[in-house]
């Protein structure tokens, strides 16, 4: 087993809109006179803000393109005019043309000015049109729209008790999260994350019992049932609509005979003698993570492990000045922390808590060790050993 101690450092290329790694001097709070602003710093900030606003506006067209099948139709037929794409999709020709132009100026499709034809290059196609492929990212875009639809509710939480339950978000969040993380799970869960745990891969090949706590739409539960045909997998989540979607996913994947799903709170995890308990993108948004981990520890078989898959993060705020850190800390503000607060408790981790915070929770819950055993672009994997 490899215990990775090095944390990710900032790798964002210049010009990606991410502020530089250093933290600026503290101001005394008084607004400086306009002519005292450093013109280059002002220009740089305005350029960053402009890029952010453009990206946020453009994302609406990405959601549209995915929902309406525009990217898929563009990929299916090679270079085409707006009229041809509109005919192929049965959509408004003038709107389709404007959508194509918006994609072209964002670098989300290619354009030949002579023929006025548009097309996707191989990378654009993989990321925007190949649903189910390892590089597909467009499926996660609706999570951002869903968050924007609940700004008023989160504002009320800021003014009040700080709470917005997971289930009170726009439904596009639930399916969007499942689709956002699915490519990462398909790429890493069976190939590298479970094999990084002490002896668990062998136990599951021979049979074994898995609990997937806070399983959402069942993506990881179904993958584990497919990858370990002799194992039984039980998925649990507090959110009934997610459990319904998970059951459907298992039936469609043909593994419903070996995967069960149940609506339950993680702290009341049913069952015992699990060889592996997984919790993906979830412990950080629970109100009482110590109680949940304690219950999991009691439910593990001898030699069993708890695998926490958490959004990738560094040790310090400065480490997280990356596009991922920006995305996860904003999601944490809008979704994860209001969810944790809605569950009561007194330990609210948030989506960028450092490994040390998870270790503290683990030890308090009675685990002996909490080790980072893998890191991939979106996630870190922590193994908790009883």
Ligand X SMILES: C[S@@+](CC[C@H](N)C(=O)[O-])C[C@H]1O[C@@H](n2cnc3c(N)ncnc32)[C@H](O)[C@@H]1O
Nearer to ligand X, 72 or 247 (CB): 247
Binding of ligand X by 232 (CB under 6 A) = no
Please report which residue ranges of the chain form alpha helices under DSSP H.
39-67, 70-77, 82-89, 93-105, 122-128, 142-149, 151-159, 171-188, 200-206, 219-227, 240-253, 289-299, 323-331, 337-342, 355-364
Nearer to ligand X, 239 or 372 (CB): 239
Binding of ligand X by 147 (CB under 6 A) = no
Binding of ligand X by 61 (CB under 6 A) = no
Binding of ligand X by 304 (CB under 6 A) = no
| List 266, 365, 370, 374, residue binding ligand X (CB under 6 A) | 266
Nearer to ligand X, 238 or 320 (CB): 238
Binding of ligand X by 383 (CB under 6 A) = no
Binding of ligand X by 341 (CB under 6 A) = no
Nearest-approach distance from CB 241 to ligand X, in angstroms? 9
User: Segment 107-146, which members bind ligand X (CB under 6 A)?
Assistant: none
Contact between residue 121 and residue 71 where contact means Cβ atoms under 8 Å apart: no
Closest residue to ligand X, Cβ-based? 216
- With contacts defined by CB under 6 A, name the span among 71-79, 110-118, 141-149, 211-219 that binds ligand X: 211-219
User: Segment 168-197, which members bind ligand X (CB under 6 A)?
Assistant: 177-178, 181
Quote the CA–CA distance of 288 and 292 in Å, as a whole number.
7
Question: With CB under 6 A, what is the number of residues at the site for ligand X?
Answer: 20
How many angstroms separate the Cα of 232 from the Cα of each of 112, 147, 170, 225?
A: 53, 35, 32, 7
Binding of ligand X by 355 (CB under 6 A) = no
Binding of ligand X by 243 (CB under 6 A) = no
Contact between residue 255 and residue 230 where contact means Cβ atoms under 8 Å apart: no
How many angstroms separate the Cα of 273 from the Cα of each of 221, 268, 269, 288?
A: 17, 15, 12, 23
Question: Could you identify the residue written with the tokens 């994350």?
Answer: 193
| List 85, 129, 223, 286, residue binding ligand X (CB under 6 A) | 286
Residues lying near ligand X in the complex (CB under 6 A) are found at 166, 177-178, 181, 214-216, 219, 237-239, 242, 265-266, 280-282, 285-286, 343
């Amino acid at each position: 087993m490899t215990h990775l101690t090095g944390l990710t450092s900032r790798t964002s290329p210049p010009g990606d809109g991410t502020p530089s790694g250093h933290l600026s001097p503290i101001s005394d709070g008084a607004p400086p006179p306009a002519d005292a602003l450093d013109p280059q710093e002002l220009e740089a900030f305005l350029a960053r803000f402009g890029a952010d606003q453009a990206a946020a506006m453009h994302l609406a067209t990405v959601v549209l393109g995915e929902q309406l099948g525009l990217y898929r139709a563009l990929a299916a037929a090679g270079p085409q005019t707006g009229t041809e794409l509109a005919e192929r999709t049965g959509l408004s020709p003038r709107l389709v043309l404007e959508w194509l132009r918006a994609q072209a100026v964002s670098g989300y499709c290619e354009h030949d000015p002579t023929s006025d034809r548009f097309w996707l290059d191989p990378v654009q196609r993989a990321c925007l049109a190949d649903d189910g492929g390892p590089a597909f990212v467009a499926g996660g875009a609706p999570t951002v729209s869903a968050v924007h639809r609940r700004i008023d509710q989160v504002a009320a939480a800021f003014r009040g008790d700080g709470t917005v339950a997971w289930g009170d978000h726009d439904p596009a969040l639930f399916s969007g999260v499942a689709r956002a993380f699915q490519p990462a799970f398909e790429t890493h869960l069976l190939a590298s994350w479970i094999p990084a745990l002490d002896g668990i891969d062998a136990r599951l090949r021979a049979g074994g019992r898995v609990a997937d706590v806070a399983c959402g739409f069942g993506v990881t539960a179904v993958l584990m049932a497919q990858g370990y045909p002799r194992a039984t997998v039980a998925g649990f989540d507090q959110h009934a609509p997610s459990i319904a979607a998970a059951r459907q996913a298992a039936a469609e994947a043909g593994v419903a005979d070996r995967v069960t799903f149940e609506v339950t709170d993680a702290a009341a995890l049913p069952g015992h003698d699990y060889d592996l308990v997984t919790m993906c993108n979830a412990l950080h948004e629970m109100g009482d993570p110590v109680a949940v981990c304690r219950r999991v520890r009691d439910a593990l078989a001898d030699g069993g492990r708890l695998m926490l898959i958490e959004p990738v993060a560094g040790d310090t705020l400065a480490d997280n000045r990356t596009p991922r850190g920006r995305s996860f800390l904003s999601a944490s503000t809008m979704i994860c922390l209001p969810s944790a607060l809605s569950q009561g408790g007194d330990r609210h981790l948030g989506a960028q808590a450092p490994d040390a915070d998870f270790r503290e929770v683990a030890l308090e819950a009675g685990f002996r060790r909490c080790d980072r055993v893998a890191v991939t672009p979106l996630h870190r994997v922590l193994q908790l050993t009883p």
